[in-house]
């Protein structure tokens, strides 16, 4: 294959395959550093807080949440959508960059996919708890049963359950199969019997032969092809949950693609945050180069464009529609009324701040990348807050208007999901190579 001279190498420096393996697997073979234990402690504390909150929600009931008759979807659904959004990026990262032959994504795929799996798990927790009696969650599955009950097939909420569980299954499969060759490497390098047996079990007898690789590539292609529509479907259906209702601010045809792009946007921002941390902690700057971060920042620039455009279109069409409720929601409640602070935070963090990535200096400075990626995640949280709460709290009838404030239990569950996420990610980086070693080796000579 011929590569143009202006392409940048994926791996910095001339490294042999052996060196690559050694450098990338080394962190898994050493005792974890201090920061790992600190992180685990923080994660566990967060989990404990979340455990208390979940206990309260189940034993006392949903009355412990800040929900009211008007605002029946609050922090629970905001955080659900927020996590689901982040959970998009991993699979999207693999699939869409594969489509555009962006080989550099190979060194980020693994971590992004791990992030997806944990984020979707965090997300799934919210609707589960929102059911009030999570032990009856299986009621939502459609199967002939002695209760003689069927789910409502016409309800987008049911579609949501199907979409998310399928997506979770698919992301885990994609992530796991992607790891097999590396797990085999871990197996071969393992020093004690237990880890050899475990890595051996999970690497499914991988022998690295030509025929294995051949089948493996075919499998990856098929999984990738199946995953692509699933990535889109998940957030589309989350958007449809809102869009098919008739609430002002929710009933908008733009919602599915807007949610989808928003999800990719927030997910990529999270990928950027995590990659910067990992790069620092694991000293893998030769594999996740400044060019990698630059490329993600560029994607964020376009994500920000679409999101900003969607905000503008929604406001314009609200006026253009001439419907007084739509006009109230957008022009009064959101832009100038009770929710204006959150609205302008959302616009500023999502649509304006990321445009700083037009400047090369901003794309190459780790600090600016880090700060912007955090701001985007805050901005995207506010976006979900605006969409959900502003439409519910001030809808058609002023007599049913209300204010919404979360309780300690709401906050506890949210913090708890961070606990799941932090612990999950830390365990992942402890036991599995954070960068797909086999892919990096395959692409190391090809430019990007």
| Contact positions vs other proteins (CB under 8 A) | 1-7, 99-102, 229, 232, 236, 240, 243-246, 251-257, 298, 302, 305-306, 309-310, 313-314, 317, 320-323, 448
- Minimum CB distance to other proteins, residue 106 (Å): 15
Structure tokens at 52: 């208390």
Residues 157, 183 contacting (CB under 8 angstroms):
no
Beta strands, E only, 56-145: none
Gap between the Cα atoms of 397 and 282, Å rounded: 56
Structure tokens at 252: 């908008």
- Minimum CB distance to other proteins, residue 341 (Å): 24
Neighbours of 386 (CB within 10 A): 23
Q: Is 216 helix (H, G, I), strand (E, B) or coil?
A: helix
For other proteins, the closer of residues 37 and 316 by Cβ is 316
Residues 411, 79 contacting (CB under 8 angstroms):
no
Q: Where are the alpha helices (DSSP H) in 190-289?
A: 193-202, 210-243, 255-282
- Minimum CB distance to other proteins, residue 435 (Å): 21
For other proteins, the closer of residues 92 and 121 by Cβ is 92
Gap between the Cα atoms of 397 and 255, Å rounded: 24
- Minimum CB distance to other proteins, residue 314 (Å): 6
Gap between the Cα atoms of 97 and 89, Å rounded: 11
- Minimum CB distance to other proteins, residue 252 (Å): 5
Residues 124, 168 contacting (CB under 8 angstroms):
yes
Gap between the Cα atoms of 161 and 140, Å rounded: 8
Gap between the Cα atoms of 228 and 98, Å rounded: 11
| Residue from 164, 117, 114, 170 nearest 137 by CA | 164
Task: Report the Cα–Cα distance between both ends of the chain, in Å, rounded.
Answer: 13
For other proteins, the closer of residues 421 and 443 by Cβ is 443
- Minimum CB distance to other proteins, residue 391 (Å): 14
The 8-class DSSP code of residue 69 comes to: S
Neighbours of 359 (CB within 10 A): 11
For other proteins, the closer of residues 138 and 153 by Cβ is 153
Residues 176, 227 contacting (CB under 8 angstroms):
no
Helix (H) / strand (E) element for 393: namely helix 391-393
Q: Is 182 helix (H, G, I), strand (E, B) or coil?
A: helix
- Minimum CB distance to other proteins, residue 271 (Å): 18
- Minimum CB distance to other proteins, residue 181 (Å): 22
For other proteins, the closer of residues 255 and 436 by Cβ is 255
Gap between the Cα atoms of 253 and 360, Å rounded: 36
For other proteins, the closer of residues 254 and 427 by Cβ is 254
- Minimum CB distance to other proteins, residue 256 (Å): 5
For other proteins, the closer of residues 232 and 434 by Cβ is 232
For other proteins, the closer of residues 4 and 209 by Cβ is 4
Q: How many CA atoms lie within 13 A of 358 on its CB side?
A: 7
For other proteins, the closer of residues 43 and 303 by Cβ is 303
For other proteins, the closer of residues 221 and 285 by Cβ is 221
Residues 250, 351 contacting (CB under 8 angstroms):
no
- Minimum CB distance to other proteins, residue 331 (Å): 13
């Amino acid at each position: 294959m011929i590569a143009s001279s202006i392409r940048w190498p994926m791996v910095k420096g001339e490294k042999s395959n052996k060196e690559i393996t050694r450098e990338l697997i080394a962190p898994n073979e050493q005792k974890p550093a201090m920061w790992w234990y600190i992180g685990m402690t923080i994660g566990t504390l967060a989990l404990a807080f979340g455990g208390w909150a979940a206990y309260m929600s189940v034993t006392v009931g949903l009355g412990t949440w800040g929900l009211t008759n008007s605002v029946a979807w609050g922090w629970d659904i905001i955080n659900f959508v927020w996590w689901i959004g982040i959970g998009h990026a991993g699979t999207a990262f693999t699939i869409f960059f594969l489509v555009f032959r962006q080989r550099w994504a190979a060194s980020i795929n693994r971590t992004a996919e791990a992030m997806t799996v944990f984020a979707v798990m965090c997300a799934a927790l919210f609707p589960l708890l929102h059911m009030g009696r999570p032990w009856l969650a299986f009621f939502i599955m459609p199967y002939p049963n002695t209760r003689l009950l069927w789910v409502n097939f016409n309800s987008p909420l049911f579609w949501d359950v199907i979409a998310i569980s399928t997506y979770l299954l698919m992301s885990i499969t994609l992530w796991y199969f992607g790891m097999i060759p590396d797990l085999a490497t871990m197996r071969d390098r393992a020093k004690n019997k237990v880890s050899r047996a475990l890595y051996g079990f999970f690497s499914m007898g991988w022998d690295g032969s030509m025929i294995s690789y051949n089948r493996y590539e075919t499998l990856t292609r098929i999984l990738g092809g199946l995953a692509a529509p699933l990535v889109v479907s998940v957030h589309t259906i989350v958007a449809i949950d809102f869009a098919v209702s008739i609430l002002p601010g929710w009933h908008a045809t733009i919602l599915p693609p807007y949610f989808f792009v928003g999800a990719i946007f927030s997910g990529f921002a999270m990928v950027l945050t995590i990659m910067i941390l990992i790069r620092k902690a694991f000293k893998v700057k030769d594999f996740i180069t400044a060019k990698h971060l630059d490329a993600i920042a560029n994607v964020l620039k376009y994500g920000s464009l679409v999101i900003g455009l969607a905000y503008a279109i929604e406001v314009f069409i609200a006026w253009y529609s001439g419907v007084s409720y739509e006009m109230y929601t957008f022009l009064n409640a959101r832009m100038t009324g009770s929710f204006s602070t959150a609205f302008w935070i959302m616009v500023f963090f999502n649509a304006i701040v990321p445009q700083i990535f037009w400047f090369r200096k901003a794309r190459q400075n780790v600090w600016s990348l880090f700060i912007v990626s955090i701001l985007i995640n805050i901005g995207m949280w506010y976006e979900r807050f605006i969409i959900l709460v502003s439409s519910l709290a001030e809808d058609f009838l002023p007599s049913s208007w209300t204010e919404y404030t979360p309780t300690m239990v709401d906050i506890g569950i949210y913090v708890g999901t961070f606990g799941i996420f932090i612990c999950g990610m830390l365990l992942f980086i402890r036991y599995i190579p954070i960068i797909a070693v086999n892919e990096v080796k395959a692409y190391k000579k090809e430019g990007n």
